[in-house]
Amino acid sequence: MSKKRVLIVGGVAGGASCAARVRRLYEECEIVIYEMGPYVSFANCGLPYFIGDVIVEEDKLLVATPALFESRFNIRVCTDTQVLSIDKENQSITVRDLKTDVQRLEHYDALVLSTGSQSVWPDIAGLDLPGVHVLRTIPDSRQIRSELKNIQRAVVMGAGYLGLELAENLIKRDVQVTVLQYSEQVMSSLDQEMATYVAKHLMKHGIDLRLSCKTTEIAQNKDGSLQIMLESGEQVTVDAVMISVGVKPRAELAIQAGLDIGAYGGIRVNEYLQTSDPSIWAVGDVVEVKNIITDEWQLFPMAGPANKQGRLAATDIVRKKMSTIPSVPYRGIQGTTVCGVFGLTVATTGVNEKILKNCTSIEYEKVYLHPSNHVGYYPGASPIHIKLLYDARNGKILGAQALGESGVARRIDVIAAFLQMGGTVYDLEEAELCYAPQFGATKDPVNLAGMIAANHLRGNHPLAKWEQLVESHAQVTEEQDDIIQMLSLIMDDPFAQAQLVDVRTEAEFQRKHIPQVVNIPLDSLRERLHELSQEREIWVVCGVGQRAYNATRILQQHGFQVRNLSGGMQTYAAYED
Amino acid sequence: MSKKRVLIVGGVAGGASCAARVRRLYEECEIVIYEMGPYVSFANCGLPYFIGDVIVEEDKLLVATPALFESRFNIRVCTDTQVLSIDKENQSITVRDLKTDVQRLEHYDALVLSTGSQSVWPDIAGLDLPGVHVLRTIPDSRQIRSELKNIQRAVVMGAGYLGLELAENLIKRDVQVTVLQYSEQVMSSLDQEMATYVAKHLMKHGIDLRLSCKTTEIAQNKDGSLQIMLESGEQVTVDAVMISVGVKPRAELAIQAGLDIGAYGGIRVNEYLQTSDPSIWAVGDVVEVKNIITDEWQLFPMAGPANKQGRLAATDIVRKKMSTIPSVPYRGIQGTTVCGVFGLTVATTGVNEKILKNCTSIEYEKVYLHPSNHVGYYPGASPIHIKLLYDARNGKILGAQALGESGVARRIDVIAAFLQMGGTVYDLEEAELCYAPQFGATKDPVNLAGMIAANHLRGNHPLAKWEQLVESHAQVTEEQDDIIQMLSLIMDDPFAQAQLVDVRTEAEFQRKHIPQVVNIPLDSLRERLHELSQEREIWVVCGVGQRAYNATRILQQHGFQVRNLSGGMQTYAAYED
């Protein structure tokens, strides 16, 4: 009897890890990887850094060669080979060798589609001009590198992780960079108020960032430079354009073969990464995945999940086609991401508030905090800005966003671990984490996030909503400023909502404060309670939320209706922009 | 009716956080902190760094002043005040003002003992000589700093976290440092083979480290220098001696008052930090805590747990003595620690193997690994040495130890989170953690630890024990080397145990290998299977364990009995020392 055959289409993250795992679980089968490009298993996450000369040697990007697959894993790799079609009935694929143009038929017992994703091209004229690039492959990066000496100015279209990594690396190569972003914020994984920190950071590092910016056309000037026309009428002249507005699943093969495709264009798979055909599996950017929090399908084109899916698909293939081994289902994705730009780390896990707003089955709450990465008395402390989202009914962690210069990935990874285990804010509160002066604090940022939220859920720490404040203030200051000024003279408070009290010191208050707020420093609050009305709710604010929490406790126990504006003036600044 | 009175003895980590929390939960009580020293709430973890001029200003070590406690929290702080005794029946304490020597009686409704710990003094002569120090307080550190100009050579007695932090900081001040350690390893939180990495690192950075070294006496020379006499007959001449051999609970008050005391000399408390007297609570270094893994009592004098205990005691005090609020029990300690020395981070969570060996109810297994902190192709990757301990029956995480230059606290914190939630190695395996080239790998070190252990538990990855190999080799090379050489000539393998196979390349093998091991590089293993015997078990080794895992899979499927020597030559080097 001939050996079972496992054919794998696409040999980067998911495909390569699937192939190696099949081999480890089963010696007696034939495994072939088909890869359209010239390389297998290359480090596509490293490409921006290759542009920036952070990674200098191209060879370093090759994680494994066809020769290694052969000698170590007894896996055959066919590079420069395109898979043209799938015949599900006969369990075969048609393959074309791109060098010889010869086609052939290959039988499979198990087929794995790991075809990845491709760049989305925006719908504008001029994308075929020389100097317009995408960055997906080693040849792409080689091409961009070769042109760099002639690039003084570049536009990066798209302010996602890849676009911003690319922008940073172009600046490292002394290119002037303009980032054009269609939506009103960078990094869609973040909520808008958190994204404002990133936007400021980018501008501080010399990026010309344009948000809510629609490009209509790219044209070529006589000197060969490119002219970017914006809907606003503005124009930008550059030497190169990098398109990075997103990716979409490369699902053509699956579509042709009639496999189930999801609403986002990705291949539908079950919890074992098996497609609607029982002999075909699919992994990586090409599949849709279930979000473990919302239980909704989505795309999540990230290398980590692709690798894990490849591994699990391998287990299932061996289990169903070759040998008896235990089944291991895929638990879905939870949305952990990280990105570094100009020394700022931005990381997320779980879902953001934009998603939760559209998710009517979940009642959520949120807190903001700005703790230091380690105790202030040890040199080099820097703030981490954190937003934690949790279930208002039981405290279950729903998501977290954090950014700062140090210790950010660590805190998000810890919250990711709790989230995976179904943990609550009470679990964060009591977590026993690494502490020494250079590594954290006796109350780690993760503990603090949990404590603030747990205090809130226990009723000791009612929270106010910045959105309400900022919206009403925006209305006021833009439209009715004169009337309000008049009203202020005759009324204690022009707003229906609340008395605003800033409990910072007078000096801090003088530097900057929210309009219409009264300053009562925390340390004199107990003596000045008579200045406040018991008739209307009090909203308290301080620098980062801690003193306002103490004020909230004092006021609450003295019979006032009170709420803390979570995250203090630091969060106000984020909302204000 | 007069206000309820909460009196707190000791105002550093646990006491201060307890006091503040009581106030936040209850405005209408009187709170007094008694502190024997001149400061409350100072940063004792920062003291070594104050010695080393890493922290330059003494003021930075004062986390909160008595004035701040008064104005912000309405808490009275009595510094330089000793609590002499407790009268449980009458709920009062006798207090002496150390400046005026006046004694007075103070009534309490709730009493909190946060008296901390004190240095253990070894039982040797000469401890009262000038130049012999301990470092527990700001005045201690001020004294040491003032003498530094006259200290060229110092002995640090004790190689725990504090001792080694102190040693590092003395070296920063150009002091020649000898560390004397009674036991055979540094840092008792680590298992011995993991501690060897630290020992090597210390010696590389100029520490004269002496293990298994018993001091018999300290004497003063005529020139004022100190002469340290060792049991071995050796002597060390220095200008100063820092005693750091451990701490013990300062439980005298509790003992006098007849409160329950545990076997380790700490105060016994229930899950609400309440002592055997229902009006007295105790927190911090002075209490014994339950280990959540072994369910045994132990001491754990760390600042993080002290703070959390203070917080929870406060909740319980308010709940039982003043107001109705929900109860929040203390879950016990899990053993998370971290220490930085000379750029090396050492961190632990859970229990170590030394503890598990004495814990007959738990059947454990372990894996070693040495992954990089982030992908190798991104510049600056450095290894993290990890040991993971888990339940052999169900994969539950029992403990982890890690060390390296970067990303260590992050991985231990993540494992700590899983451990807290009752997580298993399967949970580590599928964790979705932060990945981008500068932050990790698609398979994070935490994932890898889980994968290796999960493969083991699923039967795909049998593990061999280094101890057995090293012990039998030690026997051989020391006692029977001649006989063995003879036997080798007539027998294939002189050991009853196993055929040893090294699957690294020939070049790697030549540089260093285990005695009596055969070299069959992984990439030629499939062709050379006939060289191996099916009669005896094969133990495979490589550089870090990964190639040997692949070899294990190949051999296992070809019918061989095979085990992987977990962690490869890297772990061998640790065992060998």
Mean pLDDT of A459-469: 91
Mean pLDDT of A249-265: 98
| Pick from A24, A413, A558: CB nearest B414 | A413
Indicate the pLDDT class of residue B245, thresholds 50, 70 and 90: very high
Give per-residue pLDDT as tens, B314-342: 999 999 999 889 889 999 999 999 999 99
Same structural domain, A16 and A39: yes
* Tally of domains within chain A: 4
The reply to whether A305 touches chain B by the CB within 8 Å rule is: yes
Query: Is residue A198 included in any domain, yes or no?
Result: yes
Domain harbouring B440, CATH code: 3.50.50.60
> Would you tell me how many other CB atoms lie within 10 Å of the CB of residue A203?
12
| Inter-chain CB proximity A304 and B435 less than 8 Å | yes
Same structural domain, B169 and B97: no
Indicate the pLDDT class of residue A91, thresholds 50, 70 and 90: very high
Question: Of B420, B435, B457, which residue is a domain's last?
Answer: B457
CA distance B527 to B317: 72
Which of these ranges, A254-268, B194-208, B462-476, has the smallest mean pLDDT? B462-476
CA distance A556 to A538: 10
pLDDT at B477: 55
Which stretch of DSSP H or E encloses residue A281? strand A280-282
Chain B partners within 8 Å of A437 (Cβ): 43, 45-46, 49
| Inter-chain CB proximity A410 and B409 less than 8 Å | yes
Same structural domain, A287 and A257: yes
On the question of pLDDT at B488 being above 50, the answer is: no
Query: Is residue A328 included in any domain, yes or no?
Result: no
| Pick from A378, A436, A554: CB nearest B338 | A436
For residue A460, what are its two tokens?
A: 């000791």
On the question of pLDDT at A343 being above 50, the answer is: yes
pLDDT at B468: 83
Contact of B521 with B503, CB cutoff 8 Å: yes
User: Can you tell me the ipTM of this complex?
Assistant: 0.95
Place of tokens 């055969």: B518
Percentage of the residues of chain B whose pLDDT score is greater than 70: 95
CA distance B182 to B211: 6
Chain A: residue whose CA lies nearest to B377: A60
pLDDT at B31: 98
CA distance A139 to A374: 43
pLDDT at B498: 85
| Inter-chain CB proximity B72 and A550 less than 8 Å | yes
Query: Is residue B122 included in any domain, yes or no?
Result: no
| Inter-chain CB proximity A345 and B412 less than 8 Å | no
Same structural domain, A439 and A495: no
Give B423→chain A minimum CA distance, Å: 7
Task: Pick the residue of B432, B461, B505 with the most A CBs within 10 A to test the interface with A by mutation.
Answer: B432
| Pick from A23, A340, A378: CB nearest B436 | A340
On the question of pLDDT at B211 being above 90, the answer is: yes
Contact of A341 with A311, CB cutoff 8 Å: no
On the question of pLDDT at A339 being above 50, the answer is: yes
Closest CA relative to residue B516, chosen from B551, B566, B550, B472: B472
**How high is the mean pLDDT of chain B?**
94
Mean pLDDT of A551-566: 96
Give per-residue pLDDT as tens, B345-377: 999 999 999 999 999 899 999 999 999 999 999
Contact of B202 with B342, CB cutoff 8 Å: yes
pLDDT at B119: 94
Indicate the pLDDT class of residue B475, thresholds 50, 70 and 90: low
Query: Is residue A486 included in any domain, yes or no?
Result: yes
Same structural domain, A42 and A56: yes
On the question of pLDDT at B72 being above 90, the answer is: yes
Interface A-B: count of C-beta contacts within 8 A = 245
| Inter-chain CB proximity A72 and B522 less than 8 Å | yes
pLDDT at A567: 96
> Three-state SS across B176-212?
EEEEECCCCCCCCCCCHHHHHHHHHHHHHCCCEEECC
| Inter-chain CB proximity A377 and B460 less than 8 Å | no
Give B577→chain A minimum CA distance, Å: 28
Chain B partners within 8 Å of A333 (Cβ): 432
pLDDT at A486: 46
> H helices of B83-220, where?
138-147, 161-172, 192-204
Is the sign of the CA dihedral A229, A232, A235, A241 positive or negative?
A: negative
The reply to whether B49 touches chain A by the CB within 8 Å rule is: yes
Mean pLDDT of A374-399: 97
The reply to whether B414 touches chain A by the CB within 8 Å rule is: yes
Task: Pick the residue of A442, A451, A458, A560 with the most B CBs within 10 A to test the interface with B by mutation.
Answer: A442
Query: Is residue A532 included in any domain, yes or no?
Result: yes
Same structural domain, A433 and A470: no
User: CB pairs under 8 A, 24+ apart, for B218-222?
Assistant: B218/B124, B218/B125, B218/B126, B218/B127, B218/B129, B218/B132, B219/B125, B219/B126, B219/B129, B220/B126, B220/B129, B220/B130, B220/B131
Give B380→chain A minimum CA distance, Å: 10
Indicate the pLDDT class of residue B494, thresholds 50, 70 and 90: very low
Output the CA torsion A286→A291→A296→A297 (10° steps).
0
Whether the pTM exceeds 0.80: the reply is: yes
For residue A429, what are its two tokens?
A: 């509160």
pLDDT at B469: 83
Which of these ranges, A43-47, A382-386, B49-53, has the smallest mean pLDDT? A43-47
Same structural domain, B448 and B481: no
Query: Is residue B124 included in any domain, yes or no?
Result: no
The reply to whether A326 touches chain B by the CB within 8 Å rule is: yes
Domain harbouring B522, CATH code: 3.40.250.10
On the question of pLDDT at A479 being above 70, the answer is: no
Query: Is residue A148 included in any domain, yes or no?
Result: yes
Query: Is residue B330 included in any domain, yes or no?
Result: no
Indicate the pLDDT class of residue A489, thresholds 50, 70 and 90: very low
Same structural domain, A107 and A153: no
Same structural domain, A166 and A313: no
Question: Of A218, A245, A272, which residue is a domain's last?
Answer: A245
The reply to whether B303 touches chain A by the CB within 8 Å rule is: yes
On the question of pLDDT at B483 being above 80, the answer is: no
In order of A182, A221, A234, A236, the CA distances from A231 in angstroms are 11, 19, 7, 12
Question: Of A437, A457, A477, which residue is a domain's last?
Answer: A457
The reply to whether B72 touches chain A by the CB within 8 Å rule is: yes
On the question of pLDDT at A448 being above 60, the answer is: yes
Q: List B228's β-bridge partners, or say none.
A: B218, B236
Give per-residue pLDDT as tens, A194-233: 999 999 999 999 999 999 999 999 999 999 999 999 999 9
CA distance B428 to B410: 14
Same structural domain, B520 and B559: yes
Which of these ranges, A67-81, A385-399, B466-480, B540-554, has the smallest mean pLDDT? B466-480
Same structural domain, B311 and B360: no
Contact of A220 with A126, CB cutoff 8 Å: yes
The reply to whether B300 touches chain A by the CB within 8 Å rule is: no
Indicate the pLDDT class of residue A488, thresholds 50, 70 and 90: very low
| Inter-chain CB proximity B417 and A409 less than 8 Å | no
> Three-state SS across B479-523?
HCHHHHHHHHHHCCCCCCCCEEEECCCHHHHHHCCCCCCEECCHH
Give per-residue pLDDT as tens, B173-183: 999 999 999 99
pLDDT at A474: 63
On the question of pLDDT at A490 being above 60, the answer is: no
Same structural domain, B53 and B77: yes
Range of the domain at A213: 132-245
